[in-house]
Structure 1
Amino acid sequence: MDKTVPAQHKKTRNSHQQDTPENTSAQHEAEQLQKIRSALRALRDAVILIDENDCLGWWNQAAQDLLSLQKDDKGKSVFDFIIIPEFHQYYEDTTLPNDGIHIESWRDPSRYLKFELTSFGDEKLLFIYDVTRLKHLEQMRQDFVANVSHELRTPLTVMTGYLENFTDQPDMPPHWRRGFELMTQQTARMNRIVNDLLLLSRIEIEETHEVNAIDMTKLLTNIYDDAQAYNQAYKHIIHLHIDTYDGLYGSEMYLNSALSNLVINAIKYTPKGGNITISWTRTSDGCRFAVEDDGLGIAPEHIVRLTERFYRVDKGRSRATGGTGLGLAIVKHVLHQHEAQLQIESIEGEGSTFSVVFPATYVRTVTAN
């Protein structure tokens, strides 16, 4: 019998032989790449692939619509299409945190865009989100908080005045006096909340603030004196160590509020007779302010949320000490204005250290006489 294999069968077998694992893997990768590109094209947010020369390599439909890109724009510099100085600074500054930047659209001032840059190898992926609605909601929230806080000041002032007047009456029955004292305490607490809300709203709304040369030795001495006055009921031992005469450039009023807040918190949340150290030192990257205590300490799960508004580690204790839950939120916003970083180290039962690291660009070098 003739066992010759037909030509067409030979061809089929040869084609199967060419279907090697390497070819199958390459085909699979190509299919996956095509799926990824299809998914990116379907995104409502703009996505742009930027090559090692900062030129456009690929983009999806949303990016094409946002930047009015054409096919022959491939290979052109990204800075030819995004002409905002803030974006250029964000793109070039590798030290910035990778949480993006919010910028008013240069094409339509009523729109707000968020830019996020991700590097992989020599190339970059740029994501652009339209955050106009979120920006408007945030503005509405800020306006609401500011307006309500402002409206509350007048009735609280009236209530405080009358309560003080009645409490001072010598012939008031003891059981009434206790009630008026409690009302006075709660009214004072409401006043502190309103004042903190107004301060926080003002800091958030202000895109820029007055920048002055700050004598940190004088500022920290004042903070130390105020802390000693506040410390009368706690009997702590407070130390002040100033290891450099260098000062800062910034808002003295806001920095005084933020740094004082950290010191007062250390006093409040350290058991009586504790040790608190305030320090100001020069570092290789700038200057460092720190408040160290041997108090209660903070559990790790709370540390990441400490700067949230009204967040409390121990709600009962915070109210007992007169806290509003807004102090560290104010600290966070003040430090953000000064490009400073808040670092928190704490061990339960052993104490905490709150440090503020100011970059060299905000440090005012002073030579001792």
Structure 2
Amino acid sequence: MSRLSLRFVTLGVATPVVALFGLAALAGLYRGADAALALIFVGFLGASIMLARNLRLLVAWARQPVGTPAPQGEGLWGQVFAELGGRIQRECEVKERLSAELGRFQQAAMAMPDGVIYLGEDDLIEWMNPMAEQHFDLDRRNDLRAPLQNLVRQPEFVAYLRSRHPAEPLVMHPARRRDRSLQIEVVPLAAGRRMVLSRDVSQLERLENMRRDFVANVSHELRTPLTVVGGFLETLIDGLDDFSREDVVHFLTLASEQSTRMQRLIEELLTLSALETGAPGVGEAPVDVSELVDEVFRETELLSAGRHEIRLALDGGGELLGSRKELHSAFSNLASNAVRYTPAGGHIEIGWRAGAGGGEYWVRDDGIGIDLVHIPRLTERFYRVDRSRSRETGGTGLGLAIVKHIVTRHQGELKIESQPGAGSRFAILFPASRLKSG
């Protein structure tokens, strides 16, 4: 019982006793000592009965669930009960607020994309969220109150957990999911408790690997033509008078071709960068598909220079909602690839058809074809089936990556069918919502 409660109980007993002695003194003056003693006895008896009854009320109330209304006491006991009831009510309200805050915190922790584990003494698991269960392959129903190091036994993790003040987060691969990378951090809490935070950084690690590969590929792709150009120029500078005019023209022509290749690579890198970063594209407008496909067909004929038999197949026209510049880039990329990878004398078909289900642009050839194992990776930057052949044909390894992004921006789908030695068919499918019949 608090000091305030004891003060009220004392006051509730002392006040009637003081009044009783006052009455006894008056009785002694007028009626004698016997009357005074009788009055004192009766008063003490009445006060004792009232005190016992109120104490029983207090004990019975204390045994009730928290929040039970305070009893109605007699005299000052009523004020005592009211004060005690008010204090308990205020403490219950504080407790409810704290419980609600804790509930909201736990809900937030349960929904976090990172794993959270609370460790008590001896690193026993007190609580964990679902993401931590996934990261560490744990089960909240069975693993609570178990030592974390007994459940996650990877040596690097156990050593990191035993280090009471780790300087840097730990990056590890879970034993059962080697393709996943976790970043682990231990945060000290009060009373010897700790919190283990885990974050899946697999995608970040893949992006970092892609960035390194990208830098290496770009450096490699630029180094080759730069070496050729530099070598020809150095040769001509050192011995211009030793070469005939035909040799000089040959060297400069080769240097120009390599310079053009570098320029094309840089332009495609800028285009791909804009597409991958989600930069706003050129304003969309209705594009006359027949006119666009016919333009790509004529450009393909010029690129082939008579080495292939090229056929145009148009089945319906209409208008396609999109960026003409981007669509031209995608269509011409597929057509130029067919020219590069189809031997002289081969056949190439460029076509378009429109129907109720949407539109389809395709390029078919009977060239060298692609093995099925390579098809899923064809749209990766710098991925080549045959690297040496790609350099011979002047490919940059970025064309299909650009096509993939353009198709995605136009809510389309890129389909690739190929067979080694039998040729390939690349098709772009556009939804009906982007097609307006002519």
The TM-score by the shorter chain falls in which range? 0.5 to 0.7
Matched, 1:366 2:432: no
The Cα shift of 1:178 comes to 4.9
The residue matched to 1:304 in structure 2 has which SS? Answer: helix
- Letter of the 1:213 partner, please give it: P
Shift in alpha-carbon separation, 1:288–1:62, aligned structure 2, 3 A? same
Whole-angstrom distance in 1 between the partners of 2:248 and 2:300? 34
In structure 1, list runs of 5 or more residues that go unmatched. Answer: 1-39, 47-58, 64-128
In structure 2, list runs of 5 or more residues that go unmatched. Answer: 1-108, 116-127, 133-198
- Letter of the 1:211 partner, please give it: E
More helix by share: 2
Whole-angstrom distance in 1 between the partners of 2:406 and 2:242? 45
Matched, 1:184 2:256: yes
Shift in alpha-carbon separation, 1:284–1:268, aligned structure 2, 3 A? same
For residue 218 of structure 1, what is the aligned residue in structure 2? 291
Matched, 1:256 2:328: yes
CA contact (8 A) 2:349 2:365 kept: yes
The residue matched to 2:377 in structure 1 has which SS? Answer: coil
Alignment of 1:117-132 (within 5 A): none
Residues 88-128 of structure 1: CA distance to partner in whole angstroms, max 9, x if unpaired?
xxxxxxxxxxxxxxxxxxxxxxxxxxxxxxxxxxxxxxxxx
For residue 338 of structure 1, what is the aligned residue in structure 2? 410
How many residues are matched? 234
The Cα shift of 1:173 comes to 1.4
For residue 388 of structure 2, what is the aligned residue in structure 1? 316
* % same residue: 44
Residues 275-327 of structure 1: CA distance to partner in whole angstroms, max 9, x if unpaired?
11111112442110011111111111111111111111111111001111111
Matched, 1:173 2:243: yes
Shift in alpha-carbon separation, 1:216–1:42, aligned structure 2, 3 A? closer
The Cα shift of 1:199 comes to 1.1
Whole-angstrom distance in 2 between the partners of 1:133 and 1:239? 44
Whole-angstrom distance in 2 between the partners of 1:141 and 1:352? 30
Larger radius of gyration: 2
- Letter of the 2:301 partner, please give it: Q
RMSD over equivalenced CA pairs, Å? 3.9
- Letter of the 1:224 partner, please give it: F
Point out which structure has higher relative CO (alpha carbons under 8 A, 6+ apart): 1
Whole-angstrom distance in 2 between the partners of 1:179 and 1:302? 36
Whole-angstrom distance in 2 between the partners of 1:258 and 1:307? 12
Shift in alpha-carbon separation, 1:184–1:44, aligned structure 2, 3 A? same
Normalization by structure 1: what TM-score?
0.55
Matched, 1:227 2:297: no
Shift in alpha-carbon separation, 1:362–1:317, aligned structure 2, 3 A? same
CA contact (8 A) 2:309 2:347 kept: yes
Shift in alpha-carbon separation, 1:131–1:286, aligned structure 2, 3 A? farther
Whole-angstrom distance in 2 between the partners of 1:242 and 1:348? 27
The Cα shift of 1:240 comes to 0.8
Shift in alpha-carbon separation, 1:131–1:172, aligned structure 2, 3 A? same
